[in-house]
């Protein structure tokens, strides 16, 4: 850790740093566990240059804490290029971990809003995620197209990643999306926004915790779609969620529509290796 950054951490925490070491999870930012001379430990994320999402990440973590069901790391200090969180420890998942996670996520999804989106735009990984303006009365289908799928398509065009197939299929989806989502309408729910297995961890006591959010208020089917994309959650998680907060009929058939947003994002972040998967998902719904 650079001396200037070390000094800023000490000033923010009001105690000298005794030791620090790198931890996993710093693919975008430098991530470290810091132990202070007063015995406290904290988690530090820092970044030089580029888009710095720490203010938005802090706001998202504070929003998730409203759910009161799952452990969310407390924000201790935040600046544009520095985020200090409580240190959760790293334990082995305890018995019933996935059931606890499923029930806790269902409770999180009961936190309501009057409109889809969030009070600020934020980031999905390193990609901008559009949440504003929050327009009361905007349908979920309109929000999902205008703030999620269409921007990803635009970015793919700008990056030279869009093919004729992708253009044709995305155009068809625009015309058919409202019909494909018909019957699933719900009020906006608080979402983590980027819920893959890497953003779930076990704390020192083995309880599930949520980290690295891309928070907004949306349809909870979108959250469950992300969990299915890369796997790692298992039947116990889905069973516990359904028992606590059943999803609308047809949710499994719609799940690929929500996987699509994240596949398009991976296309834009990591390149054409994700193009085939995006096209395959689109063909499933619009031929």
Chain segment 160-203, per-residue pLDDT in tens: 999 999 999 999 999 999 999 999 999 999 999 999 999 999 99
Q: If pLDDT is split at 50, 70 and 90, which confidence band does 27 have?
A: low
Quickly count: other Cβ atoms within 10 Å of residue 27's Cβ: 9
Q: Is 165 a catalytic residue?
A: no
Residue 231 pLDDT exceeds 70: yes
Choosing among 3.90.1200.10, 3.30.9.90, 3.90.1150.10, 3.40.50.1000, the CATH entry for 97-286 is: 3.90.1200.10
Q: If pLDDT is split at 50, 70 and 90, which confidence band does 24 have?
A: confident
Tell me which of 30, 194, 203, 212 is the catalytic residue.
Answer: 194
Q: If pLDDT is split at 50, 70 and 90, which confidence band does 25 have?
A: low
The pLDDT tens digits of the residues spanning 91-101 come to: 999 999 999 99
**Percentage, residues of the chain above pLDDT 70:** 98
pLDDT value, residue 47:
86
The CA distance from 208 to 71, in Å, is 7
The pLDDT tens digits of the residues spanning 79-124 come to: 999 999 999 999 999 999 999 999 999 999 999 999 999 999 999 9
**pTM above the 0.75 mark?**
yes
CA distances from 138 to 99, 134, 144, 170, 244 (A): 34, 8, 10, 21, 27
**Domain residue ranges of the chain, discontinuous segments joined by +:** 3-86, 97-286
Quickly count: other Cβ atoms within 10 Å of residue 256's Cβ: 17
217 forms bridges with which residues in the sheet? 117, 190
φ and ψ at residue 261, rounded to 5 degrees: -55, -45
Residue 50 pLDDT exceeds 70: no
Task: Kindly give the residue spans of alpha helices, DSSP state H, lying in 70-195.
Answer: 97-108, 140-143, 150-158, 164-181
Helix (H) or strand (E) holding 139: none
pLDDT value, residue 26:
54
Q: What fold is seen in the domain 3-86?
A: Phosphorylase Kinase; domain 1 (3.30.200)
């Amino acid at each position: 850790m650079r001396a200037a950054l070390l000094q800023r951490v000490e000033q923010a925490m009001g105690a000298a740093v005794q030791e620090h070491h790198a931890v996993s999870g710093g693919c975008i930012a430098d991530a470290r566990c810091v132990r202070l001379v007063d015995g406290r430990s904290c988690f530090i994320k820092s970044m030089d240059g580029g888009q710095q999402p720490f203010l938005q990440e802090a706001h998202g973590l504070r929003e998730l804490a409203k759910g009161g069901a799952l452990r969310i790391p407390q924000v201790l200090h935040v600046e544009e290029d520095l985020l200090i969180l409580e240190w959760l420890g790293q334990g082995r998942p305890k018995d019933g971990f996935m059931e606890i996670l499923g029930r806790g996520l269902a409770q999180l999804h009961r936190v309501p809003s009057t409109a889809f989106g969030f009070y600020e735009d934020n980031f999905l990984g390193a990609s901008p995620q559009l949440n504003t303006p929050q327009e009361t009365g905007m349908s979920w289908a309109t929000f999902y197209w205008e703030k999620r799928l269409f921007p990803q398509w635009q970015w793919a065009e700008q990056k030279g990643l869009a093919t004729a197939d992708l253009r044709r299929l995305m155009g068809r989806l625009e015309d058919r999306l409202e019909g494909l989502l018909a019957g699933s309408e719900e009020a906006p729910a608080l979402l983590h926004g980027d819920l893959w297995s890497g953003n779930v961890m076990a704390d020192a006591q083995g309880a599930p915790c949520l980290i690295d959010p891309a928070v907004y208020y949306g349809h909870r089917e979108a959250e469950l779609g992300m969990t299915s994309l890369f796997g790692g959650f298992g039947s116990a998680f889905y069973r516990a969620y359904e028992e606590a907060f059943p999803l609308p009929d047809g949710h499994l058939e719609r799940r690929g529509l929500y996987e699509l947003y994240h596949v398009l994002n991976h296309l834009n972040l990591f390149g054409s290796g994700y193009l085939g998967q995006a096209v395959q998902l689109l063909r499933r719904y619009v031929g």
